[in-house]
Structures are given as structure tokens and as C-alpha cells.
Structure 1
């Protein structure tokens, strides 16, 4: 389903102005926009917040000592959820703040060699019971629970979601009795950038020729669509001709260009198709 540009801008504005954890921001979005699917809202939130984090996180690394001192001050005051509070105050994801504090903790304690610090931090985030300091372990664990964008669990869910919709696409294309080659097959033949599906026989959808299909388990905003067009879709078009892009969580109406002859955009796999060459 396409989303009106005005509604999309309203959602983005709310996300940018929200003061607090993204965990709760998603709850607020669901209450404010009940007509929009949770998947679409979560996808928009994820992209907008991660764009913000890319801009501020490099600067935040310079403030590691400040976060470390704030953490220790909170612990001495026997405050619960110190890192979560710092995250909210600074507008930075809990697990990113936790990562910086863990880096400072390891460097100050000299518990591991310098070249192994980042590996150790990532291991601690995945399994907080390995952190030698029990209080810090509890604090970091709370971050992994309340961070729905940067926690190890969030990474797994994102990857699983992408795979889930690729599998769904395969099932629907198979149900339509369409012969195709998948991404793995194409890579074995030397293609570095490949769509999820390359049809063996082209199909027609609403009079538009389709040679390939790309599945995206996310919401198609203008920025998302522009990035994927430049990094993927145009390459597919150059190699295989026109195709179909599916944004399973919907898309903003402004990405539809009636003059675009490179690919169609849908939020589902169309069933009203014509196989080219069939009578």
C-alpha cells in the first residue's frame, strides 16, 4: 500500500522530535497511527534513527570519558538503568552508549590486549554474562533489552526478516509456476550484484515487462528507494532489463514515477500476470 507524502512527513517529524528510547517511540507511533502497520512504522523509525546515529556516533566517541564518568556517578548513587538514562539524555541508542562504556572499561582495566578490545566488546554485547563486572553486566543487559535497533537481537531479527520475505517471494513465484534462478545461482555464475530472482521467461504485469524481482522487507521511503536504486536496481536493469521491486511494508507515493521504464514498484507479488510467449 502506498502512503501519502503528508502522512509520511508527519511520522518522520514525530520521530525526529521524540525525546526518549526508540523502544517507546514505536509504541507511541502505533497509538498515533493505528491505520499504519507496525512493520511500516518500525521500518521508518529504524531508517530515520540510524541515519541520525551515523551522523552523531563518530562525534560521540570523543565523549567516551564523559559517558564513563556519568556511568560511575550514577552507579555510586545506586541509580538503576544508568546507561539507559544516559542514552535518553544524549539521544544515542542504548547499545551504542554501552559499547563506548565497555571500551572505556576494558582500556582502563587492561583486561585484554588492545587489538582484541573491539572483539571483546562485541562478545560482551552478545553475552553480557561474560562481563567480569556484575553491575556493568546488568546495565549492559538492560540496554540489549530496550534497544530495538542496535542490540544483537535486533540484528538477528533484521536478517531473519529479510530472509523471511525472500522465502515468501520464492513461494509465491513457485505457486505461479514461474521458472527462475535465485541469487545464489547467479553468484555462482560470476554476477556480483544480483536480484533475488531472475526469471527464466519474462512476465508482463499491467503491460510492463519484468525480467527480475527484488524483495525488500522494509518500507520504501524516498531516501531508501534512492539509495537502493543507485546501489542495486540500476545495475539489475543494465544487466537483465526491466524488473519488479517489492517493498513488503509499503512505500511513500512519491517514489512512483510513471515515466520510469526500469522497474515497477509494488507491495506484494502480483498474481494477474502474463507469461511472455504463452498464448
Structure 2
């Protein structure tokens, strides 16, 4: 299981916070320094920490946006370098794409936000070729923000949802997915709602939620508030899977109550007790409870 101790997690977070430069370079150094920890877990932690960092610095960059734009234009006149904005982002310890998004909104002030967003997605639509080249280089060197990163996150999330359904089917579980539940009128829905509950770690399991990310305490508590507690109140106990590991404190988080089980992988077949399992005496004593939940 990929469960990160609080001590190691704090060391990783400290390294990320002190690093000055692009997240691409930070990721490489992170993998070297913490080589005993799975690289995907490290990348997932870095991604979350950098997102927090961008939010914290956003208002500072926004406040000085006209100064940065003037600096860009002055350097552009002098040397016509396609890496000016990237260098400013590195110096200011900020996301290159987020910087571009802010500066384009200033440069094309008065235009709808959708126009500047489209310029980020397709830099060739920017009238100034040099500015377009600068934005493109920021896009190619930013692993924390932008359409490339968004597409990657979306793809990873969808891949793990497909993986979840396959593992659930292979385990013999009967379930309804999010699309089915929304058609039935549910507003907040888990990734899988078991049509027939099973047992895992001594608890009756009614739903499974999948998160293709690392589970830190702040995000987990937010998930509890926004999603998981409502699943527990409506359907009963269930599982949340953090595919890229989680902080050890999350497993014993008091907000989990008795309705949230945290894991980093889908339960193994021998860990699940199915309702139709002929070798499940533990289940037979709970059939009436399970039936009441259907």
C-alpha cells in the first residue's frame, strides 16, 4: 500500500515549497531525492502542492500584471526572445500558463474572457507572432496549468474510472455508475453505487469513489464535506480509493466516522465477501441488514 507517513510527507512538501523553477525540473529533483517513494506518488503530491502555491500567489501576480506586461514589451523590443514570459514566470516562482492568462487579459482588455482563453488553447490566434511564440513556450513547459495539463488530468481520471469498473466487474460486483444514477435524478453520486452490497474489512460496502490523485488531509476533508458524507448519509458506508496513495493520517481521520474506508487500490477478491458467496458465514448473519439497504 502507498501510505505516506506524516514525516515523509512534510519533507516532500518542504522540498517542493523551497524549489525555485519550473515544476518539470522540480519533479526530476524530487524523484532523485526521494527515490524510495513511488515516482507517481511524488508527482501527484507535487501537482497538488503547486496548485496550492499558484492560488496563494495569484493575487500578487495579478496586482503587478501591468508591470510584467511592460517588462515583456520592453524586452521584446530589445531582443525578440520567445522565452521572455517563461523566464519571468520562473523568476516570480509562478505558473507560466497562469502568467500568460493574466497578461493576455490585460493586453486584450475589453475582450471577452472566452477570447483570451482560446488564445491560450491556440496561441496562433494571438495577433502578435512573438507574443504567440512566448505563450506557446509557456504551454510546452508548464506541467501545472493549461490545456495540455487539463487534458492529461482528464485522461488519467477517465482511465482510472474505467479501471475501477473493470476491477469491480472482475470481482463479481453488481453496480450502477455515475451516468445511470444521474439519469435517476441523484445530484451527488459516487463513481459506483453497488446494486448488491458486499462486505470489506467488516463493513457493509454500498459505494466506491475513485480519486486519481494523492490524498492529503486538506483535500480529503473537503471531499468529505462536498461528497463523501452525503454518500454515507444516503447510501451507507463505502470506499474511497486514492490511486496515487494517501497520507497516513487520513485513514484514522475522525471525520471518516463509520461510513468511509480509505484505501489506495481496489480490494482484492479475497478481501470482499459477496452476498452470493457460499463460503461466507460472516455474510449470512448480515443478509437481513444488507437486504434492508437495497
* TM-score interval, normalised by the smaller of the two chains: over 0.9
Instruction: Determine the C-alpha separation between the residues in 2 that align with 1:77 and 1:168.
Output: 53
Question: How far apart are residue 80 of structure 1 and its match?
Answer: 4.5
Offset from partner CA, 1:112-137 (integer Å, 9 cap, x none): xx2x4311111111111111111111
SS in 1 for 2:241: strand
Aligned counterpart, 1:95: 97
Offset from partner CA, 1:201-239 (integer Å, 9 cap, x none): 111112122110000000111112111111111010010
1:183 and 2:178 are equivalent in the alignment = yes
Q: 8 Å contact 1:181–1:198 — kept in the other structure?
A: yes
> CA separation of 1:80/1:129 partners in 2, compared to 1, >3 Å: closer, same or farther?
closer
Question: How far apart are residue 37 of structure 1 and its match?
Answer: 2.2
* TM-score, length basis structure 2: 0.89
Instruction: Determine the C-alpha separation between the residues in 1 that align with 2:222 and 2:137.
Output: 33
Q: 8 Å contact 2:82–2:131 — kept in the other structure?
A: no
Aligned counterpart, 1:232: 227
Instruction: Determine the C-alpha separation between the residues in 2 that align with 1:38 and 1:77.
Output: 42
Aligned counterpart, 2:161: 166
Aligned counterpart, 1:274: 273
Instruction: Determine the C-alpha separation between the residues in 2 that align with 1:196 and 1:189.
Output: 14
Q: 8 Å contact 1:210–1:243 — kept in the other structure?
A: yes
Offset from partner CA, 1:38-66 (integer Å, 9 cap, x none): 32112111111111222221332221111
Question: How far apart are residue 254 of structure 1 and its match?
Answer: 1.1
* TM-score, length basis structure 1: 0.93
Aligned counterpart, 1:105: 107
Report the number of matched residues. 272
Instruction: Determine the C-alpha separation between the residues in 1 that align with 2:126 and 2:36.
Output: 43
Aligned counterpart, 2:145: 150
1:255 and 2:255 are equivalent in the alignment = no
Aligned counterpart, 2:134: 139
1:265 and 2:262 are equivalent in the alignment = yes
Aligned counterpart, 1:111: none
Question: How far apart are residue 258 of structure 1 and its match?
Answer: 7.9
CA RMSD of aligned residues (A): 1.5
Aligned counterpart, 2:281: none
1:202 and 2:197 are equivalent in the alignment = yes
SS in 1 for 2:30: helix
Instruction: Determine the C-alpha separation between the residues in 2 that align with 1:25 and 1:68.
Output: 26
Question: How far apart are residue 156 of structure 1 and its match?
Answer: 0.6
Specify every segment of 5 or more residues in structure 1 that has no aligned partner in the other structure, as ranges: 108-113
SS in 2 for 1:77: helix
